Amino acid sequence: MKSVLRFGAFFVGILAILVLLCPPGGFAAGEVKIGVIYPLTGGAAAAGRELRAGAELAAKIANSVMPDLPMTMARNSGIKSLGGAKIKLIFKDHEGNPTLGADLAKKLILDDKVDGILGCYHSSVTKTVSAVCEQYGVPMINGTSTSPALTKRGFKWFWRTTPHDRWFTKDLFELLKGLTEGKVRGVRAVPKKEIINVASACEKTEWGSHVSRLIASFAKEYGFNLRKSLLYAAKSADLSSEVRSLKASRADVLLFASYTSDAILMVKTLKAQRVRPKIIWGQDAGFEKPEFRSTLGDSIQGILTRTVFLPKVVEIKALAGKVNALYKAKTGNDLGGASARAFTGVQTWVHVLEKVGSTKPADIQGAANSINIPGSELVVPWAGIKFSTSGEELGQNVLGSGLIGQYQKGPDGKMGLEIIYPFDVASADMIFPFPGY
Amino acid sequence: MEAIKSALDFSDFPRTDMFIAGVVSVFLVCFPIFPHSSFAMATMIQFLMFSLYGMGWNTIGGYGGQVDLGKAQYVGIGAYTAAVMLTRWNVPFWVSMPMGMFFAVCWSFIIGYPLFRLKGHYFAIATIATSLVLKDLFEVWDFVGAARGLEISPIKYSPPDFLRLIFKQDVYYYYIILGFFFLGILYVNWFRKSRLGFQLRSIKDNEDVARSLGINVHWAKVKTYAIATAFVSMVGSFHACYIKNIEPEDTMSLDLSILIALMAMLGGAGSLWGPIIGAGVLIPMKSYLKEWLGARAGLVGIDLIIYAIIIMLVSAVEPRGIWGIVERVRGRKAR
């Protein structure tokens, strides 16, 4: 009998003690708390590490004086208009799970009493987290989710700094069009019939399925034949049937929207099945991660990826070079599309808070709607940050832009990304056609 | 009336069990009154949801011994019925939820009838396959939002809305799912003592003997599968209104099917309290390990390792789950 009672006590204990002893978060003086929700484990854990490092670096710069950096955020220690209050980032791991993301958002808002939210990388998670923020009237800045639908919901507490996939996908088709017109550096005009057949394979959550639809829509608009369009699960352990299907389509251009592990698996399977299209293009994410490069080595030479930041940007922007050096010292890697945008997300928070001098949600909302950060302040090559306050895309930064890079082996023998698009800032000749693995 | 009496009759349980059940019930009813964090509330709602999923699974998987690893398809049917009916035609939850149960039960008959010709591992694999096929269909079906899923917009409805189950405070969701939880216990209590419940246990013990006693084995399994399905679908509808965003990858994933089976198996399959114990241990443990360790620099992922080790330890010590440990202790005392 005693044992059973002991067991009962254990069971009730687990329910009672665990749930009651988690104290609601206090509000420390001199701090501005930003809840940061990223995928720190799961298939996108590599991206999560990069995002976290980018956000932490931005917070470190904002919380200290770094006169060498020509940016407003580095001039003061903390938020000057809030009496030097320091930025405190509270990280949470959503595992790529929208339900968990929503629960974490509630915890951050109600228990940790954060002043705002930043996240979440996966568009599907950003969707649920932003819905929670909207319900509670808490500001959320999103730096890295690119599903166009996110800013078409009329939300008043959601702002997105990154350009979205409609812009990025349009850039891709502009590049293909440029190829046929001889605009691409180092490549003579390619007859359109040589690259007219395209095929796409996108992961099948919110982000990938939107990209898939955009590719279909732009292919039609630009006069390309979409021979195959398929969706696959990013967690798949085997993509051979998808690759066989792509191979059977005999497409000249293969387009992908993949997270890290599936991007690596996709290229490995393409290589194993000897699929050799003329162009392979990835919609950022997995195609741009350091793990993609380190795992696949030289076989990625000639693969294209869209991004918002490439190490070559430092040749155009001195500020980017300085921040990149700090990031490299911290992580051993160059800034990438994810880390640069996470950095910019925190930076946007700092500018908004500096402008408003308050942590009241309504004040932050007003400041975010009227913020105008010049491009010279940013590490990413955008014209600046200014959010749309009317029209279809409420809260979308209207001054962003994208890049398309290509993996090429440098003189030092290391694989790096060269800027191919926009044509006027191209840093190297494009390798065309794709040379094989 | 007899059924209600049977549902309310727990006299075959030892007094100690009833005492503990009473304490836990009082705790659950009073929980929102105590100071608590919102994370604790979310964890409790998850616990109640997974207890109900587990109770549903337990009817066919525990009492019937048919290992079903495709329950997520019914979560999806329930969730999508509620979300589609609300977002497209503004149909309240209290109408869409029974509709979802109806669709789920119909689907369970369609696939259950041929599937129960299979036995053991073959049946388990077939349930996984049907669930994944349905998920794939939902991922390309534009009417239900395809892979992008459906969102119940928080700015379209003004909370609290009891008809549509749209609330700002989680306490409303808590008491609604708690009501379902108590109803679920009463239903399973009736079920285990019903004719079908006894038939099912005899099928689990020896199918050939059960058949020789005149039990229509196939039909008993199909009916119980439908009951299990109705439970899971009901919670799926609740999930759609609670999370306000559903997509096939989240709502109909294999991970969810496995988690549902795991709750019941770890707690003790084939017992009334097993799924509740399983959910009561695993859900808070998973949530709080992640909360305490999950996002700390240098410790990312350690929560999942600890979680997995605990599951392996329980399974190794007593394959019948935590309830099996309790019964073993009781057996020793009785001797």
Range with lowest mean pLDDT among B39-48, B280-289, B305-314: B305-314
Note whether A344 and A372 are same-domain residues.
yes
Instruction: Work out whether the CA dihedral B23, B26, B28, B34 comes out positive or negative.
Output: negative
Confidence band of A312 (pLDDT split at 50, 70, 90)? confident
For A230: left if phi > 0, alpha if psi spans -120 to 50, otherwise beta; the answer is beta
Non-local CB neighbours of B117 within 8 Å, separated by 6+ positions:
B218
**Residue A391 per-residue DSSP state:** S
Q: Does residue B169 lie in a domain region?
A: yes
When pLDDT is averaged across residues A65-73 and rounded to a whole number, the result is 93
Shared domain check, A148 and A204: no
Q: For residue B68, tell me if it sits in a domain.
A: yes
Contact B37 A12 (CB under 8 A): no
Mean pLDDT of chain B: 91
| Interchain pair A209, B154: CB under 8 A | no
- Whether residues B250 and A12 touch (CB distance < 8 A) is answered with no
Residue A103 Cα distances to A19, A24, A121, B34, B39, angstroms:
14, 15, 16, 20, 7
User: How high is the pLDDT of residue A291?
Assistant: 87
Q: Is residue B277 included in any domain, yes or no?
A: no
Residue B120: other Cβ atoms inside 10 A:
10
Q: What proportion of chain A, given as a percentage, has pLDDT over 90?
A: 72
Kindly state the tokens that stand for B62: 């525990």
Cis? peptide before B284, omega within 30° of 0? no
Contacts of A108 in chain B (CB under 8 A): none
Same structural domain, A348 and A413: no
Q: In chain A, what residues touch B250 (CB-CB under 8 Å)?
A: 97-99, 124
Write out residues 197-226 of A within 8 Å (CB-CB) of B.
204-206, 208-210
Both A284 and A321 in one domain: the answer is: no
Residues A411 and A280 in one domain: yes
* Domain-located, residue B299: no
pLDDT digits (tens, 9 = 90+) for B185-239: 999 999 999 999 999 999 999 999 999 999 999 999 999 999 999 999 999 999 9
Q: What is the pLDDT of residue A5?
A: 54
The pLDDT, as a whole number, for residue A25 is: 38
Q: Name the one residue in this structure whose structure tokens are 């001889």.
A: A182
Asked whether residue B295 is assigned to any structural domain, the reply reads no
Which residues 143-172 of A have a C-beta within 8 angstroms of B? 149, 153-156
- Give residue A32's pLDDT: 96
Q: Which position has the higher pLDDT, B307 or B187?
A: B187
Three-state secondary structure call for residue A414: coil
Which residues in chain B are contacts of A45 at CB distance < 8 A?
A: 300-301
In tens, the pLDDT along A271-285 reads: 999 999 999 999 878
Question: In terms of C-beta density within 10 A (0-12 exposed, 13-18 middle, 19 or more buried), how is residue A320 classed?
Answer: buried
A41 contacts chain B (CB < 8 A): yes
The fraction of chain B above a pLDDT of 70, given in percent, is 97
Q: Is residue B289 part of a domain?
A: no
At residue A16, the pLDDT reads 52
Burial (CB count <10 Å: 0-12, 13-18, 19+), residue B171: middle
For residues A195 and A72, membership in a common domain is answered with no
What pLDDT, on the 0 to 100 scale, is given for residue A414? Answer: 86
Strand order from edge to edge, sheet including A158-160: A86-93, A31-38, A116-119, A140-142, A158-160
A-chain residues near B149 (CB < 8 A):
124, 206
Does B90 contact chain A (CB < 8 Å)?
no
| B329 CB within 8 Å of a chain A CB | yes
More confident residue, A21 or A169: A169
Per the CB < 8 Å rule, is B250 touching A99?
yes
Contact A266, A230 (CB under 8 A): no
pLDDT of A404 above 80? yes
- B15 and chain A in contact, CB less than 8 A: no
Residue A369's CATH number: 3.40.50.2300
Q: Do B148 and A149 touch (CB under 8 A)?
A: yes
Asked if A156 and A174 sit in the same domain, the reply is no
Residue A16 covered by a domain: no
Number of domains composing chain A: 2
Under a CB-based contact definition with an 8 Å cutoff, are residues A406 and A431 in contact?
yes
Q: A15 touching B, CB under 8 A?
A: yes
Residues A39 and A73 in one domain: yes
Residue A222 or B158, more confident = A222
Looking at residue B306, what is its pLDDT?
82
Q: Is residue B112, in this structure, part of any structural domain at all?
A: yes
Q: What are the tens digits of pLDDT across the range B5-19?
A: 888 989 888 888 899
pLDDT of residue A205: 82
> Is B115 a residue whose pLDDT tops 50?
yes
Check residue B309 and give its pLDDT: 87
Kindly state whether residue A103 falls inside one of the protein's structural domains: yes
Q: Are residues A222 and A79 in the same domain?
A: no
Give pLDDT tens digits for A7-59.
555 554 554 544 444 443 333 448 999 999 999 987 788 889 999 999 999 99
Tell me which residue in B44, B168, B245 faces A98 most closely, judged by beta carbons: B245
Does A397 score more than 50 pLDDT?
yes
Is pLDDT of B278 > 80? yes
Tell me the pairing of strands A140-142 and A158-160. parallel
| pLDDT given for residue A23 in this prediction | 41
Lowest mean pLDDT across A19-23, B49-53, B83-87, B301-305: A19-23
3-state secondary structure of B295: coil
* Average pLDDT rounded to a whole number, residues A155-181: 94
Structure tokens at B94: 């209290």
Q: How many domains does chain B have?
A: 1
Q: Which residues of B touch A106 (CB under 8 A)?
A: 38-39, 42, 170
Please report whether residue B283 resides in a domain: no
Sequence-distant contacts of B273-276: CB under 8 A, at least 24 apart: B273/B17, B273/B21, B273/B323, B274/B54, B274/B58, B274/B62, B274/B321, B274/B322, B274/B323, B275/B50, B275/B51, B275/B53, B275/B54, B275/B55, B275/B57, B275/B58, B275/B62, B276/B51, B276/B54, B276/B55, B276/B185
Does residue A419 have a pLDDT over 80?
Answer: yes
Helices B254-268/B302-317 angle, 10° precision:
40
Pairwise CA distance, residues B300 & B293, whole Å: 7
Are residues A200 and A298 located together in one domain of the fold? yes
Q: How far is A310 from chain B (nearest CA, A)?
A: 26
What is the SS3 assignment for B313? Answer: helix
Q: What is the mean pLDDT of chain A?
A: 90
Q: Are residues A295 and A320 in the same domain?
A: no
In chain B, % of residues over pLDDT 90: 67
Residues A413 and A303 in one domain: yes
Predicted pLDDT at A6: 58
Instruction: Please tell me whether the overall predicted TM-score, pTM, comes out greater than 0.95 for this model.
Output: no
Average pLDDT over residues B132-141: 92
**Range(s) of the domain holding residue B165:** 2-265
Cis ω on the peptide bond leading into residue A120 (within 30° of 0)?
yes
Domain extent, residue A259, equals 166-307+403-425
Compute the distance between CA of residue A57 and CA of residue A65 in angstroms, rounded to an integer: 13
State the complex-level ipTM. 0.84
